[in-house]
Each structure stands twice: as structure tokens, then as C-alpha cells.
Copies of this chain bind each other. A is one copy, B any other.
Amino acid sequence: MDILRLDYNYLMAEAVGDDQGIREIDLDFVRKRAGRFARDISRQRKAGELAFLRLPYDRAVQDQVAAVAQTVKARFRNLVVLGIGGSALGTSALQQALHPWVYNVYPQKGCPRLFVLDNIDPRFVADVMEVLDPSETAVCVVSKSGSTTETLAQYMIFKRWVEEVEGRAFKEHFFFITDPEKGPLREIAEKEGYVSFPVPPGVGGRFSVLSAVGLFPAACVGLDIHGICEGAARMDSICRVDSMEENPALLYAALMYLMVIRKKKNIHVLLSYSNRLYGLTDWYRQLLAESLGKRFDLDGKEVHVGPTPIKALGVTDQHSQIQLYVEGPKDKVITFLKVEDHGANLVVPEGVEDHQALKFLEGHSLGEIMEAERVGTEFALKKAGRPSCTITFPRVTPFTVGEYIILKQIAVTVMGRYFKVNPFDQPGVEEGKAAAFALLGREGYEEKRREILEGLEKDLDLRI
């Protein structure tokens, strides 16, 4: 069985120096809390809280999703996903991890191509509508609340688009994933009779990838959703242990917290040495930023906390960001994602070119060169006093991807406890949302509209 591993040697003072690294005394500083947090989570789990932890075990939903996906595969050549944030990032991440990069150019036989429309850029949306045939296209509409502006606007456009070609048969093209009981999309699903799946109560967008939100599109394009859930369940069982040094989620949370609080490393780089895992760094970017980026702590104290996540790709970003990471401000901690077996063996052939500068590469596989560059980068960072750790994927499979998802979700939940913030809300997005409503003339936002317009009048006119 492929189990993820966490190597944290280079986060320690022994590797990067007392100034930059964690000492045994720092681990002692958090160990007691780590154990308490593990027991808290275990208690919450028993009380039916932390609903995202039940998703890997919900075989009924997984089977239902798989069954409906069969009908989509049989009937449609394209699947368009309308969703944004937590309704899209998991789907894109699973697709990128488990299908070839060129999937849409050469889709898997018997599966539709996948277009995740996670934005309302009109050119972006039109580009897709212009080339797809509505009669061959299924549309999956995803919004937990059922009231996401971008998704509702897209839905209305796509409904008209399908209806114009298919007439009353438009219904068969739509699949809704939303709250089981309330919200506009739920009401519309009932009224129109769409096939729909629930987002379980208590599961927020960024914790929902293992519900139908992520699993239904994944199953439609032929991914092994049971494998994903089995991996998640396995990692969940590993992360139930109380002891920090035996529980990777607990350990990772503690280490990252110490990096912020003791070492002033508030920029958290996720550096994936695998193109397939790059989508998962984008998914984690939301998980970390929205969960921990908070103005108030649980006691109502103004704290303005939250590490800033950065997604990066090795070796590519060695030629873009490593200069900064090695020589710039000492404000970063790096988590490498390493893959042992990439599942493709490309070896630099011998005798292709008789040139001295190329000789040393002959006989090496691209996987070997990539790992040499990763180790070289890790070494250079360490030598410059820049801490890093490594999460190793033996292989990139549905199982290991599932493990990674639950590992990170539990780790961020624990980090929330260290920072004393609520990792499940996002109050900071309300102001911008209300302002957009006001600008679009929505009823009930007249006051906000006045506030914005008055503000604009007072603006200087600084522009060239």
C-alpha cells in the first residue's frame, strides 16, 4: 500500500541553524497542545461534528455518483462544470493529478472531455461555448449555498444555450450539486426535476472535494473515486493517533505553526516536483488561505493572522522563484512534494549527440534528473538557512491523492486550533460580495450602493 511520508529534517535547527530552524524545545512547546487537539478532534468526530471526515466512508453516495456518471459517459461527449472556489478547485486538482495533461485533446475512450468553468471572464466562457455542441454537452452546476452569483449567471446562460437546441430535453443535460434542502439551486432542481446530489450539511466548499462536488465530475471522466476515498479513509485512520510524532497531520500542523510563531515564516510555499500534483497545490492554496486568514480570533481579539500560501512547480520554478527563495528575505518555509515513481520511464539515450556538455546526461532518466534537481534545491536552501520539509508520494494514484487531501484537511483544522481561529468560516468575503450586489443594482443593497458611490466621488484622480 502506498502511504505518504513526511520528512522534516531540514526544518530543524540542526540543519538550518538556531535562528531559522526548530529546536527540541520548540517541539516541547507544542506537544501538549498537539495531544489535546487530537483528542478534541476525536471528540468532535464522535459528536457528529467535522462532517468532512465522514465523506470518505459514505459508500452510498459514492455508488450513486458512480451510477449516474455511467449515464453521463454513455450519453455525452463533453462535461462542463459551472462552479467556483471550493466547487471547482478539487475537480481541477483530481483531473490534473490522475489524467494526462493532454486529456482534453485526447480524451479517454468512452469518457467526456472536461471543462471546468471556474470564472465568468466572458472571453473564457465564450471560447468554450463557441466550440462545444450543446446537444453533446452535460452541465454540472455546483454551489453549496445555491446562491453563488457567478454560478447562477453561468447557469442561466447555459440553460438557454442548451434549451435552444434541445427544447424540453434540456433537463437531461443538467446535474446539480447543492445543499440537500435549501437555497435557490435546490429549489430549481426540485422544480425542474434535475438529477441532483447533496453537499452534506456542515461541509464547507473547501472541505467538500470528497463529496459529490469532487467525486461526480471525477467519476464522469473515468477516475477511480472509490480508490480516492479508500486512500482518504486510510490517511484518516493514520491521523487519529494522539502522539504528534506518529500523526502526520498533527505533526505538519505543529511544524508550520512553529514556523510562523517562532521563526516568522509567514509565506508557505508548496513546491511540487510533479506537474500532476500542481493542481493540488492550488486546491491547498484555498484551504490554507480561507481557513486561517482571519481578522479575529475565537475570543474576538483582533489578530490579523494567516500564512500566505504560494503554489510553485519544480523544476520549472527553479528557473523563476528559487533565486528569491535562496537569497531573498527569510520569510518562507517550503514544503516539497516529491514523487518516487512517476509511472513513465524516459531515459536520455546514448550516442545521440557527440558533445562533451551533454555526455553526463546519457543513461539518466528524466525522473532521476528531476530528483537530483529537487535534492540539489533542498541542499541549496538548507545551506542558505532556508527551512524545508518533504511530503513523498510513492506514486500518484487515486489512493495517494485521497490520502493527501484528508492529510491536509486535518492539518489545517489543527492549525486553526493553534491560531485560535475558526477554520470553517470566511467572513472577509462578505463586504466585497455586498458591494458587487450593490453595483449590480440588487434589491436591498441601496444603502451600500450609496456608500460606494460617495466614496468614488471623494477619490483623488490619480491615473496616467
Contacts and interface: CB of A to CB of B under 8 A. Distances in A.
A246 B160 CA distance: 48
Given A105-B104, A368-B440, A439-B375, A428 B327 contact: yes
Given A376-B436, A380-B428, 4 more contacts: A15-B460, A251-B464, A327-B427, A380-B431
Contacts of A157: 346-349, 366
A214 interface: no
Given A128-B101, A289-B323, A379 B432 contact: yes
A150 to B, nearest CB: 6
8 contacts: A86-B319, A121-B274, A153-B366, A289-B320, A323-B426, A368-B440, A373-B436, A377-B435
Contacts of A267: 267, 308
A195 interface: no
Interface in A419-464: 426-429, 431-443, 452, 455, 459-464
A160 B274 CA distance: 24
Given A286-B319, A463-B6, A370 B122 contact: yes
B310 A324 contact: no
Interface in A344-399: 344-349, 352-353, 355, 357-358, 360-362, 364-370, 372-373, 375-377, 379-384, 396
A268 to B, nearest CB: 11
A64 interface: no
A330 interface: yes
Contacts of A328: 289, 292-295, 304-306, 308
Interface string A293-329: 1110000000011101010010110111111111111
A337 to B, nearest CB: 11
Interface string A82-96: 001110110000000
Contacts of A248: 464
Contacts of A316: 84-85, 88, 118-119
A357 B89 CA distance: 25
Contact of A428 (B14, B323, B345): B323
Contact of A365 (B122, B247, B396): B122
A122 B26 CA distance: 39
Nearest to A382: B455
A230 interface: no
Contacts of A320: 85, 89, 285-286, 289-290
A224 interface: no
Contacts of A429: 318-319, 322-323, 326, 380
Interface in A68-91: 84-86, 88-89
Nearest to A83: B319
B315 A120 contact: yes
Interface string A120-151: 11111111111100000000000000011110
A325 B290 CA distance: 9
A95 to B, nearest CB: 13
A180 interface: no
Contacts of A211: none
B463 A5 contact: yes
Given A322-B429, A429-B318, A122 B366 contact: yes
A325 B267 CA distance: 13
Nearest to A248: B464
Given A121-B275, A187-B355, A321 B289 contact: yes
Contacts of A367: 122
A7 interface: yes
Q: Can you list the 10 inter-chain pairs with the closest CB atoms, starting with the nearest?
A: A85-B319, A293-B324, A376-B435, A376-B436, A306-B328, A380-B432, A126-B344, A293-B328, A286-B320, A327-B428
